[in-house]
Structure 1
Amino acid sequence: MKNNYLWALLSAVLLWLAWPPIPYSSPLLWIAFVPLLIAIEETIRSEKEHKGRKVFWLAFFTGFVWNTASIYWVYNAMSAYLPGYVALPISLIPFGLAPLLMACVFRLYYQLRKKTSVGYSLIGLVSFWVGYEFLHQWWDLAFPWMTLGNGFANFHQLIQWYSFTGVYGGTVWIWVCNILFFLLIWQTRAKVQAISNKKLVVALLAVIIIPIGLSLLQYNSYEEHVNPSEIVVVQPNIDPYEKFNSITPEAQLENLIKLSSKVGKPNTEFFIWPETAISASRGIDEEEFRTYPAFDSLQVFLDNYKNASVLSGIESYQLYNYQKTITARDYGNNVFLDPFNAAVLVDQSSKLQFYHKSKLVPGVEQLPFGDLLAFMKPLFAHFGGSTGGYGSQEKPSVLYAQSGIGAAPVICYESIWGNYVAEYIRQGAQFIAIVTNDGWWGDTSGKDQHLQYAKLRAIENRRWVARSANTGISGFINQRGDIVQRTKWWVPDALTQEINLNEDLTFYTRYGDLFLYIALLGGAFSIYGLFRKK
């Protein structure tokens, strides 16, 4: 049994080494699950009792080590503003929840193995895995950071076909490679040939070489339509933990304007500022924003750039009379206040456009299962959240400049949802503007992973990404996923870039996660297999 845990540990190490931001290590994902599959196969074929339980804990062990090693920065963020005895158990939720779901996937695989053929069971394993990834981007505890297809973000030249399949195509690809490697190695170890080894080798080479060949062909032949627009991204580098102690909102706005002015050009069309860049001590009333000094400062700044708009993160709220949303607080006199982590587009017209962040961070920006756990709101507020969480909007919305250019205002965490970002593009966005604040995590791999994942959104939709991070890494990513410009960590800076706007829709943008739906259908057939006789 100890040897099986060593196999499981080897899988965890391979998965960690393959994960961003380690460069060019992604191909390790093709073999990373093989040791775990060997350990599980040996458990299934052993004479020991409680095999299902042993399979469960082997898979959980692999997932826990892999997740903890890859997203250790979650604890880094928590411990910065919570006591260690509180930060550690909260961090165990993302460290342990995904591995728990992974373990359930392999437990179901074991049940299939008892009742169906090896081939049917392995198809079920892939389908159940994709089902787990879908659940982990859909429910209130969503955290799709570790979706398997994200693992190739640091080697984007090999996955240009994500413009057809999205990241779930990558998940399926990785699993098919692992299964073929496993069958080849297991047959060699067991000295059997249920399937010809020669056929397995041919199939394995085809599964690896054909997608890579098509991807490299796409990468080298792809040409952007020339439709230039001058964009500026700003990185003010405000310590998020000292935001209201070390610098006033007025000083922060002055700093943003100063950095923008250094690189702004007469033909600049967008200035992109980071998450919550515009703020006030109590937030900004969206209906009254034009009366704030910040709005006047923006108008004076834009006088120098007649065709420009400012797209910025903003801490805002709305007031409701005699109506209360699930996130609104009682403001007194039958008035309720709903706060938002939002984006705003300001130009020299009388129109203001707001977008309210929809994909909220569980435990920080929203109370998971709010209706069910409403009694925990005071505790939630005590540990650093807000009593009701932030308000949100159901669907993304595009922010349009006076010139008609549509920008996708993607706020921080939202950039790891492929289909959600694609919805902006379907609504007419011609480029993606990511406004974020990655300083919560410190100088860890979290900021690098977040940047790498933005490359996937560029490929899926063939849109430039203009990324403005308060503290983190700001920059520009072209339609092939190349990082064209980037800032350094913890350095105030501003960059300007002529990007190409795009109006064409990729297959993925049009049809979304078809690979996901096909795999979920396979999962439904696999569940049927669980109820068959042995």
Structure 2
Amino acid sequence: MLLWLAWPPIPYSSPLLLFAFVPLLIAIERTIRSDRANKGRKVFSLAFLTGFVWNTASIYWVYNAMSAYLPSYVALPISLIPFGLAPLLMATAFRLYYELRKKLGIGLGFIGLISLWMGYEFLHQWWDLAFPWMTLGNGFANFHQLVQWYSITGVYGGTLWIWLCNALIFLFIWQKIERVAVLNNTKIALTLAALIVFPAGLSVLQYTNYEEHVSPSEVVVVQPNIDPYEKFNVVTPEAQLRNLLQLSATVGKPNTEFFIWPETAISSTRGINEEEFRRQPAFDSLQVFLDRYKNGSILSGIESYQIYNYQKTMTARPYGDHVFLDPFNAAVLVDQSSKLQFYHKSKLVPGVEQLPFGGVLAFMKPLFAHFGGSTGGYGSQTEPSVLYAQSGIGVAPVICYESIWGNYVAEYIKQGAQFIAIVTNDGWWGDTSGKDQHLQYAKLRAIENRRWVARSANTGISGFINQRGDIVQKTKWWVPSALTQEINLNEELTFYTRNGDLILYLALFGGLFSIYTFFQKKG
């Protein structure tokens, strides 16, 4: 419950994370020192229960989204995957910690536990069932003034900070409970105080003194507020486009350089062929609109596809004789030139946008199709790509779920993106904390890369976030709106942008050292 209370969107509650694991660590230590049988199984159960309660309370909205279009008897078991999978990995880390703790003692045991935990977080952003929503470092999104140093470490620095503080607090309390002094409690207290005060103080100084280099660009974000469950049933694609153009015009200025529209804002009942888009009436409407803005570009989400004469990709499916269709959840940049730039979403949502372990689970494609997913999954590209306006400004087109990956967003910045545009559709979750968490996580991407974030969310919360993570403007939930903001472009690269998750690799090295020592002693 402490972990849940510390989690976004509850404001300024993040410091609870620095001691939220202490009750679990005490319970596990008591189990290790007890005379009961099957201690390893008990440790696993305690850790799993903790993780399950924390995850379910924090991301309950997953069920909300599922139950909106699936029967409850189907929605519930599917929801149990994200509710239970991460806790299963967490519990595995604690189970291995139990073995290390027995053989190596508490010091090396904790090094192993922290490394194993960070290894689990790394796995959960890399494999086909990736869902890094609950990475511990994300918990400071609701108190970003304390983690300005994410521009050096990324969110894994937060994970490490949380675990080091929990370990020291546990040692201090445990020695008080047991009335032992294996380690000097005064030294523990002083080390803990330094560990808390130094990073937090450094961050507050960074936050207070940070000044953006003035390089202005006028940007508009649009929130059309189209119910995703009623799309095409109530509003035609033509009416949706007119609505987007009208909202954009209400705040557009002669010097507006970007209009950001949400995920899948440009669409049709059958999708849009990328090769034929220039010949469609929708493209003509965009060109007429942009005539009013000398340097204007529209960056929008789009439901698109490509046609191949052979099965070029694993996700292409038959579309006639010797013809294959590859669908994409994509972004497109339209300006007054003849050039169209597309980006195909890479980080796809498991089960809805891609079939996890598609080669092995290919037999389940009809089941996913029946429950609203994609039979072959969406096509994607392996690396991010920056979209450039005619003026030369580079923007990172981050689509929805992709904004959770700090290392992936940093790749856009390394390629030359001067600001981040997040296009998303948070309406699937309803008026739950899911939309608020998603917004707050975007603050961490701004800090890591020192880039403004322009966020366009259909039925979610749209807005602007500056380079130190402050939400400068935001819309209300379920209100059609458009906002304009003069942002500052940035070309400098932070340490994190240049070097990525170095702190993660150092932690994993610590885990390998613990495991090596374990087998040496066992031998």
Verify same fold: TM over 0.5: yes
Q: Name the structure 1 match of 2:292.
A: 304
Quote the RMSD (CA, aligned, Å).
0.6
Deviation at 1:526, TM superposition (A): 2.2
Q: Name the structure 2 match of 1:194.
A: 182
What letter corresponds to residue 89 of structure 1 in structure 2? P
Q: Name the structure 1 match of 2:200.
A: 212
Gaps of 5+ in 2: none
What letter corresponds to residue 112 of structure 2 in structure 1? G
Moved over 2 A (4+): 529-534
Does 1:386 pair with 2:362?
no
Q: Name the structure 2 match of 1:55.
A: 43
Q: Name the structure 2 match of 1:331.
A: 319
Counterpart secondary structure, 1:447: helix
1:348 to 336, 341, 347: 336
Q: Name the structure 1 match of 2:220.
A: 232
How do residues 495-506 of structure 1 correspond to structure 2 at under 5 angstroms? 495-506=483-494
Deviations 1:270-317 (A, max 9, x none): 000000000011000001110111100000100111210000000000
1:33 to 21, 37, 40: 21
Please give the TM-score of this superposition, normalised by the length of structure 2.
0.99
Q: Name the structure 2 match of 1:22.
A: 10
Q: Name the structure 2 match of 1:277.
A: 265
What letter corresponds to residue 109 of structure 2 in structure 1? S
Deviation at 1:355, TM superposition (A): 0.1
Deviation at 1:529, TM superposition (A): 3.4
Q: Name the structure 2 match of 1:396.
A: 384
CA contact (8 A) 1:115 1:532 kept: no
Q: Name the structure 2 match of 1:9.
A: none
Counterpart secondary structure, 2:343: strand
Deviation at 1:426, TM superposition (A): 0.1
Deviation at 1:523, TM superposition (A): 1.6
CA contact (8 A) 2:214 2:488 kept: yes
Q: Name the structure 2 match of 1:121.
A: 109
Does 1:46 pair with 2:34?
yes
Deviations 1:16-57 (A, max 9, x none): 000000000000000100000000000000000000000000
Deviations 1:385-431 (A, max 9, x none): 01101000000000000000000000000000000000000000000
How do residues 127-276 of structure 1 correspond to structure 2 at under 5 angstroms? 127-276=115-264
Deviation at 1:114, TM superposition (A): 1.5
2:308 to 320, 342, 365: 320
CA contact (8 A) 2:223 2:457 kept: yes
355-364 vs 323-332, which moves further: 323-332
1:410 to 379, 389, 398: 398
CA contact (8 A) 2:9 2:436 kept: yes
Q: Name the structure 1 match of 2:414.
A: 426
What letter corresponds to residue 462 of structure 2 in structure 1? S
What letter corresponds to residue 318 of structure 1 in structure 2? Q
Aligned mates of 1:417, 1:322 — CA distance in 2: 33
Does 1:513 pair with 2:480?
no
What letter corresponds to residue 498 of structure 2 in structure 1? R
Counterpart secondary structure, 2:124: helix
What letter corresponds to residue 283 of structure 1 in structure 2? G
Does 1:71 pair with 2:84?
no
CA contact (8 A) 1:115 1:529 kept: no
CA contact (8 A) 1:275 1:436 kept: yes
Aligned mates of 2:279, 2:269 — CA distance in 1: 15
Aligned mates of 1:87, 1:272 — CA distance in 2: 33
CA contact (8 A) 1:112 1:529 kept: no
1:106 to 84, 87, 94: 94
Q: Name the structure 2 match of 1:467.
A: 455
Please give the TM-score of this superposition, normalised by the length of structure 1.
0.97
What letter corresponds to residue 362 of structure 1 in structure 2? P
Counterpart secondary structure, 2:397: strand
1:90 to 60, 66, 78: 78
Deviation at 1:324, TM superposition (A): 3.6
What letter corresponds to residue 144 of structure 1 in structure 2? P
Aligned mates of 1:320, 1:526 — CA distance in 2: 51
Deviation at 1:115, TM superposition (A): 1.0
1:357 to 310, 332, 345: 345
Does 1:366 pair with 2:327?
no
Aligned mates of 1:526, 1:233 — CA distance in 2: 49
Deviation at 1:531, TM superposition (A): 2.2
Deviation at 1:100, TM superposition (A): 0.2
Aligned mates of 2:426, 2:131 — CA distance in 1: 16
Counterpart secondary structure, 2:246: helix
Counterpart secondary structure, 2:232: helix
Deviation at 1:521, TM superposition (A): 1.2
CA contact (8 A) 2:311 2:317 kept: no
Deviations 1:240-259 (A, max 9, x none): 00011010000000000000
